[in-house]
Amino acid sequence: MHTLTRTVRFAVGSGSDARGVNGFAGNPHVRGLDRHYELQVSCRGSVDPVTGYLIDIKAIDRAVRDRVVPLFDHAVTTNTSPAALLSQTTDTLRSLPAPLLAVRLFITPYHSIEMAAMDPTTVLLRQRFDFSAAHRLHSPSLSDDENRSLYGKCNNPRGHGHNYVVEPAVRCTPDTLSLADLEAITDRVIIQPFDHKHLNEDTNEFNVAKGGVLPSVENIAQVFFSRLAPALAQHPSKPTLERITVWETDRTCATYPS
Protein backbone atom coordinates (compact mmCIF):
# COMPACT_ATOMS: atom_id res chain seq x y z
CA MET A 1 0.00 0.00 0.00
CA HIS A 2 1.09 3.55 -0.67
CA THR A 3 0.10 6.88 0.84
CA LEU A 4 0.24 10.06 -1.20
CA THR A 5 -0.24 13.48 0.39
CA ARG A 6 -0.96 16.58 -1.64
CA THR A 7 -0.89 20.09 -0.13
CA VAL A 8 -3.25 22.62 -1.66
CA ARG A 9 -3.06 26.27 -0.65
CA PHE A 10 -5.80 28.76 -1.39
CA ALA A 11 -7.29 32.05 -0.29
CA VAL A 12 -10.85 32.61 0.81
CA GLY A 13 -12.81 35.82 0.97
CA SER A 14 -12.88 37.30 -2.49
CA GLY A 15 -14.83 34.45 -4.02
CA SER A 16 -13.39 31.41 -5.74
CA ASP A 17 -13.21 33.26 -9.07
CA ALA A 18 -9.85 34.80 -8.03
CA ARG A 19 -7.94 32.09 -9.88
CA GLY A 20 -4.20 32.52 -10.16
CA VAL A 21 -1.27 30.55 -11.54
CA ASN A 22 0.93 30.27 -8.43
CA GLY A 23 -0.20 27.08 -6.73
CA PHE A 24 2.85 27.15 -4.47
CA ALA A 25 1.69 30.33 -2.72
CA GLY A 26 -2.03 29.80 -3.19
CA ASN A 27 -4.66 29.44 -5.86
CA PRO A 28 -7.14 31.15 -5.67
CA HIS A 29 -4.62 33.81 -4.76
CA VAL A 30 -4.96 36.32 -1.96
CA ARG A 31 -6.72 39.57 -2.69
CA GLY A 32 -6.56 42.35 -0.11
CA LEU A 33 -7.01 40.91 3.37
CA ASP A 34 -8.32 37.48 2.32
CA ARG A 35 -7.76 34.48 4.61
CA HIS A 36 -5.17 31.93 3.51
CA TYR A 37 -5.45 28.21 4.19
CA GLU A 38 -3.48 25.06 3.56
CA LEU A 39 -5.14 21.68 3.10
CA GLN A 40 -3.23 18.39 3.14
CA VAL A 41 -5.13 15.61 1.39
CA SER A 42 -3.84 12.05 1.91
CA CYS A 43 -4.91 9.04 -0.13
CA ARG A 44 -3.91 5.44 0.50
CA GLY A 45 -4.05 2.62 -2.01
CA SER A 46 -2.24 0.73 -4.73
CA VAL A 47 -0.17 2.25 -7.50
CA ASP A 48 -1.40 1.94 -11.08
CA PRO A 49 1.19 -0.20 -12.91
CA VAL A 50 0.79 1.83 -16.12
CA THR A 51 1.03 5.38 -14.75
CA GLY A 52 2.98 4.73 -11.55
CA TYR A 53 0.41 6.93 -9.81
CA LEU A 54 -1.70 6.26 -6.76
CA ILE A 55 -3.73 9.27 -7.87
CA ASP A 56 -3.13 12.11 -10.30
CA ILE A 57 -2.48 15.13 -8.06
CA LYS A 58 -4.31 17.31 -10.57
CA ALA A 59 -7.51 15.49 -9.57
CA ILE A 60 -6.93 16.53 -5.94
CA ASP A 61 -6.18 20.14 -6.91
CA ARG A 62 -9.29 20.28 -9.07
CA ALA A 63 -11.54 18.78 -6.40
CA VAL A 64 -10.29 21.21 -3.76
CA ARG A 65 -10.51 24.31 -5.95
CA ASP A 66 -13.82 23.46 -7.63
CA ARG A 67 -15.72 21.91 -4.72
CA VAL A 68 -13.96 22.59 -1.41
CA VAL A 69 -13.06 26.28 -1.80
CA PRO A 70 -16.77 27.16 -2.25
CA LEU A 71 -17.46 25.37 1.06
CA PHE A 72 -14.85 27.60 2.71
CA ASP A 73 -16.27 30.70 1.02
CA HIS A 74 -19.63 29.85 2.55
CA ALA A 75 -18.25 28.80 5.94
CA VAL A 76 -16.35 32.01 6.62
CA THR A 77 -19.53 34.04 6.13
CA THR A 78 -21.57 31.81 8.46
CA ASN A 79 -20.94 30.47 11.94
CA THR A 80 -19.43 27.18 10.76
CA SER A 81 -16.87 25.59 13.09
CA PRO A 82 -13.55 24.34 11.68
CA ALA A 83 -14.54 20.76 12.58
CA ALA A 84 -17.87 21.05 10.77
CA LEU A 85 -16.13 22.52 7.72
CA LEU A 86 -13.54 19.74 7.81
CA SER A 87 -16.33 17.16 7.94
CA GLN A 88 -17.93 18.71 4.84
CA THR A 89 -14.52 18.78 3.16
CA THR A 90 -13.82 15.13 3.97
CA ASP A 91 -17.23 14.07 2.65
CA THR A 92 -16.63 16.01 -0.56
CA LEU A 93 -13.22 14.45 -1.14
CA ARG A 94 -14.49 10.89 -0.68
CA SER A 95 -15.33 10.92 -4.39
CA LEU A 96 -11.67 11.25 -5.39
CA PRO A 97 -10.51 8.46 -7.71
CA ALA A 98 -8.37 6.94 -4.90
CA PRO A 99 -9.31 5.98 -1.32
CA LEU A 100 -9.22 9.03 0.95
CA LEU A 101 -7.11 8.49 4.09
CA ALA A 102 -7.22 11.83 5.89
CA VAL A 103 -7.62 15.57 5.46
CA ARG A 104 -5.60 18.06 7.52
CA LEU A 105 -6.53 21.73 7.53
CA PHE A 106 -3.96 24.30 8.61
CA ILE A 107 -6.02 27.13 10.06
CA THR A 108 -2.75 28.93 10.78
CA PRO A 109 0.84 27.81 10.12
CA TYR A 110 0.89 26.65 13.77
CA HIS A 111 -2.58 25.20 14.28
CA SER A 112 -4.20 22.38 12.36
CA ILE A 113 -7.19 20.08 12.58
CA GLU A 114 -7.17 16.65 10.95
CA MET A 115 -9.93 14.16 10.21
CA ALA A 116 -9.42 10.55 9.19
CA ALA A 117 -11.79 9.36 6.48
CA MET A 118 -12.44 6.18 8.47
CA ASP A 119 -13.31 8.05 11.68
CA PRO A 120 -15.16 11.34 11.16
CA THR A 121 -16.38 11.20 14.78
CA THR A 122 -13.04 12.52 16.09
CA VAL A 123 -10.48 15.11 15.06
CA LEU A 124 -6.76 15.49 15.72
CA LEU A 125 -5.83 18.98 16.92
CA ARG A 126 -2.27 20.26 16.77
CA GLN A 127 -0.97 23.57 18.06
CA ARG A 128 2.66 24.69 18.27
CA PHE A 129 4.24 26.38 21.29
CA ASP A 130 7.75 27.62 21.91
CA PHE A 131 9.99 27.89 24.92
CA SER A 132 13.67 28.58 25.56
CA ALA A 133 15.87 26.52 27.84
CA ALA A 134 19.46 25.53 28.52
CA HIS A 135 20.67 21.97 28.83
CA ARG A 136 23.81 19.86 28.99
CA LEU A 137 24.22 16.34 27.69
CA HIS A 138 26.46 14.41 30.07
CA SER A 139 25.86 10.77 30.97
CA PRO A 140 27.07 9.64 34.43
CA SER A 141 27.52 6.15 32.94
CA LEU A 142 30.31 7.41 30.66
CA SER A 143 33.76 8.81 31.38
CA ASP A 144 34.46 12.50 30.80
CA ASP A 145 36.37 11.62 27.64
CA GLU A 146 33.55 9.42 26.39
CA ASN A 147 31.03 12.18 27.12
CA ARG A 148 33.09 14.74 25.21
CA SER A 149 33.53 12.34 22.33
CA LEU A 150 29.84 11.42 22.12
CA TYR A 151 28.15 14.76 22.77
CA GLY A 152 30.79 17.20 21.48
CA LYS A 153 29.77 20.81 22.07
CA CYS A 154 26.56 19.61 23.74
CA ASN A 155 28.80 18.37 26.60
CA ASN A 156 30.20 21.85 27.38
CA PRO A 157 30.23 22.09 31.20
CA ARG A 158 28.03 25.18 31.51
CA GLY A 159 25.45 24.01 29.00
CA HIS A 160 23.96 25.81 26.04
CA GLY A 161 20.56 27.03 24.93
CA HIS A 162 17.86 26.13 22.44
CA ASN A 163 14.65 27.75 21.27
CA TYR A 164 12.42 24.69 21.38
CA VAL A 165 9.11 24.22 19.58
CA VAL A 166 6.51 21.82 21.00
CA GLU A 167 3.49 20.38 19.19
CA PRO A 168 0.98 18.17 21.00
CA ALA A 169 -1.40 16.13 18.81
CA VAL A 170 -4.69 15.70 20.66
CA ARG A 171 -7.58 13.44 19.64
CA CYS A 172 -11.02 14.65 20.69
CA THR A 173 -14.65 14.80 19.68
CA PRO A 174 -15.24 17.74 17.30
CA ASP A 175 -15.89 21.07 19.00
CA THR A 176 -15.35 19.80 22.56
CA LEU A 177 -11.81 21.07 23.27
CA SER A 178 -11.26 24.75 22.59
CA LEU A 179 -7.91 26.04 21.48
CA ALA A 180 -7.96 28.27 24.56
CA ASP A 181 -8.25 25.23 26.85
CA LEU A 182 -5.54 23.31 24.97
CA GLU A 183 -3.25 26.31 25.27
CA ALA A 184 -3.99 26.86 28.97
CA ILE A 185 -3.34 23.21 29.90
CA THR A 186 -0.14 22.98 27.81
CA ASP A 187 1.10 26.26 29.21
CA ARG A 188 0.49 25.11 32.79
CA VAL A 189 2.16 21.69 32.64
CA ILE A 190 4.86 22.20 29.99
CA ILE A 191 5.69 25.78 29.11
CA GLN A 192 5.66 27.47 32.51
CA PRO A 193 7.65 24.75 34.36
CA PHE A 194 10.42 24.59 31.73
CA ASP A 195 10.58 27.94 29.92
CA HIS A 196 13.78 29.92 30.57
CA LYS A 197 15.15 27.18 32.85
CA HIS A 198 18.37 25.21 32.89
CA LEU A 199 16.77 21.81 32.41
CA ASN A 200 19.51 19.85 34.21
CA GLU A 201 19.80 22.19 37.16
CA ASP A 202 16.37 23.78 37.58
CA THR A 203 14.05 20.80 36.99
CA ASN A 204 13.87 17.39 38.68
CA GLU A 205 12.70 15.74 35.46
CA PHE A 206 16.09 16.32 33.77
CA ASN A 207 18.37 16.23 36.81
CA VAL A 208 20.07 12.83 36.59
CA ALA A 209 21.36 13.09 40.17
CA LYS A 210 17.75 13.39 41.35
CA GLY A 211 16.50 10.45 39.28
CA GLY A 212 15.71 12.45 36.18
CA VAL A 213 16.65 11.65 32.59
CA LEU A 214 19.15 13.28 30.25
CA PRO A 215 17.57 16.28 28.49
CA SER A 216 17.96 14.91 24.97
CA VAL A 217 15.19 15.96 22.60
CA GLU A 218 13.91 12.37 22.65
CA ASN A 219 13.62 12.40 26.45
CA ILE A 220 12.12 15.88 26.48
CA ALA A 221 9.32 14.66 24.19
CA GLN A 222 8.67 11.66 26.47
CA VAL A 223 8.70 13.70 29.69
CA PHE A 224 6.34 16.27 28.19
CA PHE A 225 4.02 13.50 27.00
CA SER A 226 3.92 11.99 30.50
CA ARG A 227 2.99 15.40 31.97
CA LEU A 228 0.48 16.54 29.36
CA ALA A 229 -1.45 13.28 28.81
CA PRO A 230 -2.92 13.05 32.33
CA ALA A 231 -3.58 16.81 32.48
CA LEU A 232 -5.58 16.67 29.25
CA ALA A 233 -7.47 13.58 30.46
CA GLN A 234 -8.92 15.69 33.29
CA HIS A 235 -10.64 18.01 30.78
CA PRO A 236 -14.43 17.41 30.70
CA SER A 237 -14.28 16.36 27.02
CA LYS A 238 -11.73 13.61 27.81
CA PRO A 239 -9.31 14.35 24.97
CA THR A 240 -6.47 11.91 24.33
CA LEU A 241 -2.89 13.00 23.75
CA GLU A 242 -1.80 10.82 20.84
CA ARG A 243 1.76 12.07 20.56
CA ILE A 244 3.96 15.06 21.12
CA THR A 245 6.71 16.42 18.87
CA VAL A 246 9.58 18.59 20.11
CA TRP A 247 11.90 20.48 17.77
CA GLU A 248 15.34 21.29 19.20
CA THR A 249 16.27 23.11 16.01
CA ASP A 250 14.43 23.42 12.71
CA ARG A 251 16.40 20.38 11.55
CA THR A 252 16.01 18.10 14.57
CA CYS A 253 12.79 16.90 16.17
CA ALA A 254 11.61 13.92 18.18
CA THR A 255 8.10 12.49 18.44
CA TYR A 256 6.81 10.38 21.34
CA PRO A 257 5.25 7.94 21.03
CA SER A 258 6.09 7.47 17.41
Q: Quick one: DSSP state of residue 46?
A: P
User: Judged by CB under 5 A, which of 101, 107, 154, 179 binds Ni ion?
Assistant: 154
Q: Is 154 annotated as catalytic? A: yes
Q: At its nearest, how many Å lie between Ni ion and the CB of residue 254? A: 12
Say whether residue 4 binds Ni ion (CB under 5 A).
Answer: no
Q: Is 2 annotated as catalytic? A: no
Binding marks (x or -) toward Ni ion, 53..72, rule CB under 5 A? --------------------
Say whether residue 253 binds Ni ion (CB under 5 A).
Answer: no
Q: At its nearest, how many Å lie between Ni ion and the CB of residue 191? A: 19
The Cα 199–Cα 87 span in angstroms is: 41
Region label for 240, one of left (φ > 0), alpha (ψ between -120 and 50) or beta (otherwise): beta
Residue closest to Ni ion when measured from CB atoms: 154
Stretch that binds Ni ion, among 84-92, 105-113, 153-161, 175-183 (CB under 5 A): 153-161
Q: Is 248 annotated as catalytic? A: yes
List b or e across 8-42, with b for residues whose CB sees 16 or more CB atoms inside 10 angstroms: bbbbbbbebebeeeeeeebbbbbeeebebbbbebb
Three-class SS state of 34? coil
The Cα 104–Cα 38 span in angstroms is: 8
> How many Cα atoms sit within 13 Å of 55 on the Cβ side?
26
Based on CB atoms, which residue is closest to Ni ion, 152 or 230? 152
Q: At its nearest, how many Å lie between Ni ion and the CB of residue 154? A: 5
The active-site residue, picked from 36, 154, 198, 218, is 154
Start-end of H helices in 131-216: 144-151, 179-186, 192-194, 199-202
Stretch that binds Ni ion, among 40-48, 59-67, 111-119, 148-156 (CB under 5 A): 148-156
What are the catalytic residues?
154, 196, 248
Residues in contact with Ni ion by CB under 5 A are 154
